[in-house]
Amino acid sequence: MFQVHQFESVDSSLGSAHDDEKKNILEEEILSDFDDIYNEDEDEVFDVWRNNRGNKNLVNVDSCGAAGDGTSDDTKAFEEAWKQACSKRKSVFMVPSGRTYLVNATKFNGPCANGLIIQVDGTIVAPSDPENWDPKSPKAWLVFANLTGVTFQGNGIIDGSGRKWWEASCKKNKSNPCKSAPRALTIDSSSRIKVKGLTFQNSQQMHFVISRSDNVRVNGVMVSSPGDSPNTDGIHISESTNVLLQDCKIGTGDDCVSIVNASSNIRMKTIYCGPGHGISIGSLGKDDSIGIVNKVTLDTAFLKGTANGLRIKTWQGGSGYVRSVLFKNVQMEDVSNPIIIDQFYCDSQKPCQNQTSAVEISQVLYRNVSGTSKSQKAMKFACSDTVPCRRITLDNVNLEARDGTAEVYCNSATGIIAGYVHPEAECLNSNDKKIEQKIEEYNVHNEL
């Protein structure tokens, strides 16, 4: 995990060509139909059980037979504790501090009685040897499914013991077969879920997956694995709506955050990323599939030493769209591809064939983005000739190449330049009439 630096407002380092009201014209064009994510007070959301212990049904995994010595298999004890906690209102499923619990692949199914809290203060570890893994669960370790109104919280650690899985990866050694590996924690088919304070580390592949869920709020989590660990995405969002990630620190061997098909209204605020592959929408459209991601915002982020910064990646041959995306107040340090849209993404051992169809990308706004690029192409918009990228807007972007002169690459991408932009991105500028007319109307009105 990289050392966290104090985040400074990008607004203070860049001159603005428009005042706040004129800037809002651009945001309204892109994000006018965003839904509201529920927004309770922090003190009311988390640490509820600590203040109301007398009203809680506390189920400690130790009382269900867990050894907590890090070597004995505590899977059955966790299953028994879950059975008790899930069945009774206002229960706390307790993993106490100071102990380490070895747990094999387990699915914790709901629905559960109201008011369930999952309190993880100790360490949960996975079996370290892939040969000891349950073959019935090749892609999942800890799965929580069909839950409503459940809170996950604590200062504990969820450790995937992933090193032997990484060594067996085809990305580490091309002579190895490409196989799936488990994801550390998955929240599936659930709603009104809150997660705070947990640490995820050394996952076999993805660390924390939010799948087919609605209204999920994640606050103050940390994710850590080596920068060369393959496919270890930090937080992966799939087929989910109304997700809020806030105050998260993520360093992995893959995307810090990845957002894939059928996800909408995803908000990220104050995200620290590095090492890793950046913050990504995609990949989408693989194997001629439909990919749809709509309404994504990132507000305030610091990325250091990542392979990409703000990335949208799609395979040739897919269909669907990425629409209404806002990246703002982002600082980068030594990032290889700070801003990149890649409609020719190909993560395959074989070359990908050229195809005409593509996932459509439009209405993407980059505002107040600054920092240093390890590559000369600080901005790259590599879009399909048949399905071009449209309405890409740059507003106050300042990216310097660490070595040489920073450049911009465009292929079949159009948009507007709405403020100071360095390096110059004239290849993108198409004078978007709809937005420019609104800005002009504002200017005329202001002068009268």
Average pLDDT, the chain: 89
**Is 99 a residue whose pLDDT tops 60?**
yes
Contact 415, 391 (CB under 8 A): yes
**Is 101 a residue whose pLDDT tops 80?**
yes
* Positions marked active-site: 254, 277
Altogether, the residues listed in the chain come to a count of 448
* pLDDT, tens digit (0-9, with 9 covering 90-100), for 64-74: 999 999 999 99
Distance of alpha carbon 393 from the chain centroid = 22
Q: Which amino acid is at 390?
A: R
Lowest mean pLDDT among 96-100, 328-332, 438-442: 438-442
Rounded to whole angstroms, how far apart are CA atoms 201 and 19?
43
Residue 72: how many other CB atoms lie within 10 Å: 13
Confidence (pLDDT) at 136: 84
**Is 49 a residue whose pLDDT tops 90?**
no
Q: Which amino acid is at 63?
A: S
Confidence (pLDDT) at 12: 42
Q: What is the percent of the chain with per-residue pLDDT over 70, rounded to a whole number? A: 84
Comparing 27 with 208, the larger pLDDT belongs to 208
Lowest mean pLDDT among 102-111, 230-239, 261-270, 411-420: 411-420
Confidence (pLDDT) at 106: 97
**Is 208 a residue whose pLDDT tops 90?**
yes
Nearest to 151 by CA among 71, 252, 50: 50
Rounded to whole angstroms, how far apart are CA atoms 447 and 427?
31
| 39-44 average pLDDT score | 44
Distance of alpha carbon 213 from the chain centroid = 14
Confidence (pLDDT) at 22: 56
**Is 443 a residue whose pLDDT tops 60?**
no
Distance of alpha carbon 110 from the chain centroid = 25
Rounded to whole angstroms, how far apart are CA atoms 379 and 373?
9
Confidence (pLDDT) at 350: 84
SS3 83: helix
Lowest mean pLDDT among 14-18, 168-172, 402-406: 14-18
Confidence (pLDDT) at 86: 98
**Is 82 a residue whose pLDDT tops 90?**
yes
Q: What is the percent of the chain with per-residue pLDDT over 90, rounded to a whole number? A: 76
Run of H or E residues at 393: strand 389-401
Q: Residue holding tokens 């004078």?
A: 431
| 161-187 average pLDDT score | 93
* pLDDT, tens digit (0-9, with 9 covering 90-100), for 243-290: 999 999 999 999 999 999 999 999 999 999 999 999 999 999 999 999
Phi and psi angles of residue 186, each rounded to the nearest 5 degrees, phi first: -125, 130
Say whether pTM exceeds 0.85: yes
| 175-203 average pLDDT score | 96
**Is 303 a residue whose pLDDT tops 80?**
yes
Contact 255, 231 (CB under 8 A): no
Rounded to whole angstroms, how far apart are CA atoms 384 and 343?
6
pLDDT band, very low/low/confident/very high, at 45 (cuts 50, 70, 90): very low
pLDDT band, very low/low/confident/very high, at 20 (cuts 50, 70, 90): low
Comparing 344 with 53, the larger pLDDT belongs to 344
* pLDDT, tens digit (0-9, with 9 covering 90-100), for 112-152: 999 999 999 999 999 999 988 888 888 999 999 999 999 99
Find all residues with CB under 8 Å of 231, minimum gap 6, and list them: 169, 171, 181, 205, 206, 253, 254
Q: Which amino acid is at 207?
A: H
| 401-409 average pLDDT score | 93
| 166-182 average pLDDT score | 90
**Is 30 a residue whose pLDDT tops 80?**
no
Q: Which amino acid is at 339?
A: I
**Is 21 a residue whose pLDDT tops 50?**
yes
